Amino acid sequence: MRSGMSRSSRSVASPHVVNIADLRELAFQRTPPAVFDYLDGGAEGEVTLRENCRVFEDVTFRPRHAVAFADCNLRTRVLGFDLALPFLLAPVGYSRMMHPDGEAGAARAAGNAGTAYILSTISGHKLEDVKAASTGPVFYQLYLMGGRGAAESTLERARLAGFAALVVTIDTAVSGIRERDYRNGMKELVSGGVFDKIPFLPHILSHPRWLIRFLLDGGLPALPNVVIPGKGPMKLIDVAAALAESTVTWSDLMWIRKVWGGPIVVKGVLTAEDARRAVDEGAAAIVVSNHGGRQLDCVPSSLRVLPQIVKAINGQTEILMDGGIRRGSDIIKALCLGARAVLCGRAYAYGLAAAGEAGVNRAIEILRADLDRTMRLLGCASIAELDRSYVEVPSNWNAK
């Protein structure tokens, strides 16, 4: 190797770490297969997971050349918050398993970069600690795990802690089957007894640095933000069953709106019908999303359905999207097609798994530099000026 350094000992600041794929490679080197595959994998045949990334190749740019400008404005507004960047960090469950910095480290990195962080219900850190770690806006993502009783006290805590919006995920009627997790014994490792874990331990032991950090951090805690009335924080052994019973229906959404009282973002919209329903139910924003290809496989990529949804909603609510964002140019394509901002999931979580908060900082910096360069090459000085005229889409995309 030219640098004379093994790939796994490289720092995320190394000049060899050029893009998000390089961070993914470092995450692969530094975490056991069960952890990496949990982060990297998708549902069933991973058709949607692959398509989420591939589809960006179908959209090409129409640059304006011979245009010069001193500053490039990457700012946008989401739910009234002025963000320095047109991307937010998506909710990623079990982040603390990837690295002890976990959700608090990711939130701090987002705040330092001037953008928002969305905390998953499946967090290893207390929501109050995550909020305190960030100088930027923090939103709370809700699963109805543990029923309305547990949710009510969490929403009260989130409001008191200063969470600015509630993101309600609607695409998890049951958990998608992520086949890599089954093969790696994820269930046994997270919630099984000692004997259940034994067949899967060699892979974990092959990553002693990760293991030592994980053990020093106390292993995975019970979920501190899902407190079952009269019982306390939800134990990991109960998470899978609780998720299976945590479907959010439209009538739940009405109840959630009343209890929360603040802005609600509906995440997991893939059709114009659901988008219109979310607007009717009072959503302040929607996220066009297929959960990063982790739920129902063979649904379309988020980018592919974004234009139809933008057309159907016609400015009635803010539209965000996620799925497959790995480069700044991907973000710009989504904005040209009508998204106000995007959410990044794996792009920053690879950084977290590779090097904790420093890795998240690096992921954000890579995307920020990508955005700035792409805007200049495109001849567009401001995110607010991006529109359909800067991209070409395949002709059949305009059919609906």
Ligand X SMILES: Cc1cc2nc3c(=O)[nH]c(=O)nc-3n(C[C@H](O)[C@H](O)[C@H](O)COP(=O)(O)O)c2cc1C
> What positions carry a catalytic annotation?
291
Residues 16-45 that bind ligand X (CB under 6 A): 38-39
Which helix (H) or strand (E) covers residue 35, if one does? helix 33-40
Tally of CB atoms within 10 A around 223 = 26
Cβ at position 379, least distance to ligand X in Å: 27
Among 10, 108, 178, 346, binds ligand X (CB under 6 A): 346
Stretch binding ligand X (CB under 6 A), from 127-135, 151-159, 229-237, 287-295? 287-295
CA 286 to chain centre: 14
Query: What burial letters (b/e) apply to 327-355, b meaning 16+ CB within 10 Å?
Result: bbbbbbbbbbbbbbbbbbbbbbbbbbbbb
CB-based contact 121:142 (threshold 8 Å):
yes
Residue 78 near ligand X by CB under 6 A: no
User: Which C-beta is closer to ligand X: that of 333 or that of 380?
Assistant: 333
Nearest to 377 by CA among 48, 72, 122: 72
108 touching ligand X, by CB under 6 A: no
Q: Which of residues 45-74 bind ligand X (CB under 6 A)?
A: 52
**Is there binding between residue 225 and ligand X (CB under 6 A)?**
no
Q: Is 103 exposed, middle or buried (0-12, 13-18, 19+ CB in 10 A)?
A: buried
Q: Which range touches ligand X (CB under 6 A), out of 71-79, 193-201, 220-228, 321-329?
A: 321-329
CA distances from 290 to 114, 128, 263, 345 (A): 26, 28, 22, 12
- For residue 92, the minimal CB distance to ligand X (Å) is 4
The answer to whether 170 contacts ligand X (rule: CB under 6 A) is no
Between 181 and 357, CB nearer to ligand X: 181
- For residue 51, the minimal CB distance to ligand X (Å) is 11
Give the shortest CB-302-to-ligand X separation in angstroms. Answer: 8
Residue nearest ligand X, CB atom distance? 345
For residue 287, the minimal CB distance to ligand X (Å) is: 7
Contact status: 184 vs ligand X (CB under 6 A): no
Q: Are 239 and 122 in contact (CB under 8 A)?
A: yes
Residue 122 interacts with ligand X (CB under 6 A)? yes
**Member of 93, 114, 263, 359 binding ligand X (CB under 6 A):** 93
CB of 288 to ligand X, least distance (A): 10
CA torsion through residues 129, 132, 133, 138, sign: positive
Q: How many residues bind ligand X (CB under 6 A)?
A: 26
Nearest to residue 98, comparing CAs of 322, 267, 345, 331?
Answer: 345
345 is a contact residue toward ligand X (CB under 6 A)? yes
CB 270 within 8 A of CB 321: no
Q: Tell whether residue 92 is a contact of ligand X (CB under 6 A).
A: yes
Give whichever of 40 and 380 is closer to ligand X, judged by the CB atom: 40
Residues composing the chain: 400
| 213: Cα separation from own chain's centroid | 24
Residue 228's φ and ψ, nearest 5 degrees, are -80, 125
Q: Residue numbers of the site for ligand X (CB under 6 A)? A: 38-39, 52, 90-93, 120, 122, 141, 169, 267, 289, 291-292, 294, 322-325, 343-347, 349
